[in-house]
A and B are shown apart, each in its own frame.
Chain A
Amino acid sequence: MNLQKSTLNAVFTYTLVVVAFVVAQGLIKSGNISSTLRGQLAPICAYIVMAVSLNLTVGILGELSLGHAGFMSVGAFSGVVACVSLANVIPLEPLRLVVGMLVGASCASAVGFFIGIPVLRLGGDYLAIVTLACGEIIKNLVTCMYVGMDSHGLHFSFLTSASALQLEKGGKVIINGPMGIAGIPKLSTFTMGFMLVMFTLFIVMNLVNSRAGRAIMALRDNRIAAESVGIPVTKYKLMAFVTSAALAGAAGALYAMNFSTVVATKFNFNTSILILVYVVLGGLGNIWGSVVAAAVLTVLPEMLRGFNDYRMLVYAVVLIIVMIVTNNARFKAIPTRLKKRLRGASNV
């Protein structure tokens, strides 16, 4: 019964994403899509991945993390460095992007692991505050970082300037401190983004419906009871947190490779909150909700361009309306009422 329900849910989510992808592709082919929206398709995929991965921490594990953009940042910068430095080794662009995402994911998961060990000992508000601080620390560290490449390989410098990299002639500065990365090869495509979304959904939904996922949800529901049935708390908290960070890293790489320049200050507290808004509006623990919320709320500001100066005001009002409506008991009862009506109709 339960397995059936979760399988149905997964099938629904995959179908939703595939249908959205096909529709968007159709719109691109027929030219019925604005150029701004078209340029947003890959970032939308990145935001969906961010939202789904944050949902793993906030909705499934039940720990409020406010530093998710930090992991995105780590993934973005390490992914771009990997892609730029491997330009000659791997000429095939999609493969290079995949490698970049893998590098981004592994760097972000490593950072997630080391942050997670001390941070996950905390709970509730304290954890939220410390993750917020960690996100800001990552942002500031990346701002002070210089990375360059020449024939000897990668050069790294911290808190100095690009000249301290001592690159030989013909060397190239990749990360230039506060100026970030310029001249990023545009490797991200909508198709690659779609594939990353599907991959993320596959990982998260299968994880949730396995032994490890059950243990993670048990920690959320009742930590003391979970310990009493022999579930190691730290192991599963870290598992959820690191998986979440890794996916955020991959999303960061995808995101960065869509723009020609990227700076560390892009991945600040506001971005973390933005993603948290997607998760909360989509419903905590509700994976397809996160997908829909991330997609709609990324497109919405573009659609509201007609309101000019009042755009963000209208955006805020829409957010409030969504919150009120989705928490309305009558609105929530609609699916069950529909089901009853359908059943009644089939009985007659």
Chain B
Amino acid sequence: MFERGQKTKLAPLPATIFVPERDVDKQPILEAHNLGIDFGGLTALDGFNFAVSPTEIAGLIGPNGAGKTTVFSLLSKVYQPTRGAILLNGRDTMGMSTVQVNRAGIARTFQNIRLFNNLTVEDNVKLGLHNHIKYGMLSGILRTPNYWKQEKSAAMRVKELLSIFNMEHMVGKRAGSLPYGAQRRLEIIRALATGPKVLLLDEPAAGMNPSETDELMENIVKVRDTFQIAIVLIEHDMNLVMGICEGICVLNFGKIIAKGAPGDIQNNPLVIEAYLGRQKKDGQHAES
């Protein structure tokens, strides 16, 4: 359908998603056109149209099993879509692998934390920097001056990145031994280290207490402001979503049921129905 990596001429998306004022003139960084995927006979996602502007914080919400994580898996190329196209910075990502799409600028975190548990915090972040550390296998074995130079600058970058979440003191700890909240933060830092243009956060606040969540909200905004990147997040904590997301997209049964700014979403009858069920007129029990 599209040549890989080519600029494609797709019709602009209907402007239903919220675009922050500062990004009005800019082309969206990430676009999904009519995206869909079937697993066997099951349609997990269908007709997903979505755009994120370059410095937007966008939210993806919906009840359990709505297809939110599937969207992330498609965006990060864990699955290849059955239908539709994903454009990153105007370029089609069709046929790209997870590795290639990461190098192109999409980084993600996982719903169930996936850290390199037996490695230290420092090594985890250095692995995020993997494609920015430039020396080969041989100079690694022979310990050339380039090795020392690159490792030193990487270590400094690791410190910088860890300082975003005040985790510098954990540098030498084993990632698997960190408390839950710190593991979530480390995963975000590792994703940030890859130098993404779009950061996908899959339930960043899961398992956090309210004060940790508040801190996380501040940090997500801080990350966006410092790195000037787009952030898409899946979250069940409505406090967080309504607090920091500028544009929200609501999924249910693999279809978008609403898109817009937080205020519009909160009052949308379809959304309320998806979350709380419909009030039956005849007094029967509510359908979930």
Query: For chain A residues 215-265, which have a beta carbon within 8 Å of chain B?
Result: 215, 217-218, 220-222, 224-233, 239
Interchain nearest-CB distance for A120 vs B (Å): 16
- Check: B213 CB closer than 8 A to any chain A CB: no
Contact of B131 among A203, A213, A225, A230 (CB under 8 A): A230
Give the residues in chain B near A202, CB-CB below 8 Å.
Answer: 141
- Check: B56 CB closer than 8 A to any chain A CB: no
Q: Could you tell me the distance between the alpha carbons of A80 and B288 in the complex, rounded to whole angstroms?
A: 75
B140 x A207 contact (CB < 8 A): yes
- Check: A40 CB closer than 8 A to any chain B CB: no
Give the residues in chain B near A228, CB-CB below 8 Å.
Answer: 76, 98, 102, 107-108, 110, 114, 191
A214 x B126 contact (CB < 8 A): yes
Interface residues of B, count at CB 8 A: 42
Interchain nearest-CB distance for B168 vs A (Å): 11
- Check: A210 CB closer than 8 A to any chain B CB: yes
A207 x B137 contact (CB < 8 A): yes
B102 x A217 contact (CB < 8 A): no
Give the residues in chain B near A2, CB-CB below 8 Å.
Answer: 120, 122-123, 171-172
Name which residue of chain A comes closest to B125, CB basis: A229
B194 x A210 contact (CB < 8 A): no
Q: Could you tell me the distance between the alpha carbons of A268 and B281 in the complex, rounded to whole angstroms?
A: 77
Query: For chain A residues 161-177, which have a beta carbon within 8 Å of chain B?
Result: none
- Check: A329 CB closer than 8 A to any chain B CB: no
Contact of B137 among A1, A212, A220 (CB under 8 A): A212
Give the residues in chain A near B172, CB-CB below 8 Å.
Answer: 1-2, 5
Q: Could you tell me the distance between the alpha carbons of A211 and B161 in the complex, rounded to whole angstroms?
A: 18
Query: For chain A residues 89-141, which have a beta carbon within 8 Å of chain B?
Result: none
Name which residue of chain A comes closest to B175, CB basis: A221
Give the residues in chain B near A286, CB-CB below 8 Å.
Answer: none
- A276-292 to B contact mask, C-beta < 8 Å, 1/0: 00000000010000000
Q: Could you tell me the distance between the alpha carbons of A3 and B126 in the complex, rounded to whole angstroms?
A: 13
Given contacts A206-B143, A210-B140, A228-B107, contact A217 B116 (CB under 8 A): yes
Q: Could you tell me the distance between the alpha carbons of A94 and B161 in the complex, rounded to whole angstroms?
A: 51
Name which residue of chain B comes closest to A219, CB basis: B116
Give the residues in chain B near A231, CB-CB below 8 Å.
Answer: 99, 127, 130
A225 x B115 contact (CB < 8 A): yes
A230 x B130 contact (CB < 8 A): yes
Q: Could you tell me the distance between the alpha carbons of A2 and B170 in the complex, rounded to whole angstroms?
A: 11
Give the residues in chain B near A229, CB-CB below 8 Å.
Answer: 102, 107, 127-128, 130, 190-191, 193-194
Given contacts A218-B116, A231-B99, contact A212 B140 (CB under 8 A): yes
Give the residues in chain A near B114, CB-CB below 8 Å.
Answer: 222, 224-225, 228
A210 x B107 contact (CB < 8 A): no
Q: Could you tell me the distance between the alpha carbons of A227 and B115 in the complex, rounded to whole angstroms?
A: 12
- Check: B119 CB closer than 8 A to any chain A CB: yes
- B194-224 to A contact mask, C-beta < 8 Å, 1/0: 1000000000000000000000000000000
A221 x B99 contact (CB < 8 A): no
Interchain nearest-CB distance for B84 vs A (Å): 22
- Check: B78 CB closer than 8 A to any chain A CB: yes
Q: Which 6 A-B pairs have the closest CB atoms?
A: A210-B140, A1-B172, A225-B114, A230-B102, A221-B116, A227-B98
Subset of 10 A-B contacts with CB under 8 Å: A2-B172, A211-B133, A212-B136, A212-B137, A214-B123, A215-B130, A217-B119, A218-B119, A228-B76, A229-B127
In the complex, besides A207-B141, A214-B126, A230-B130, 4 extra interface pairs with C-beta distance below 8 angstroms are A212-B137, A221-B119, A225-B115, A230-B103
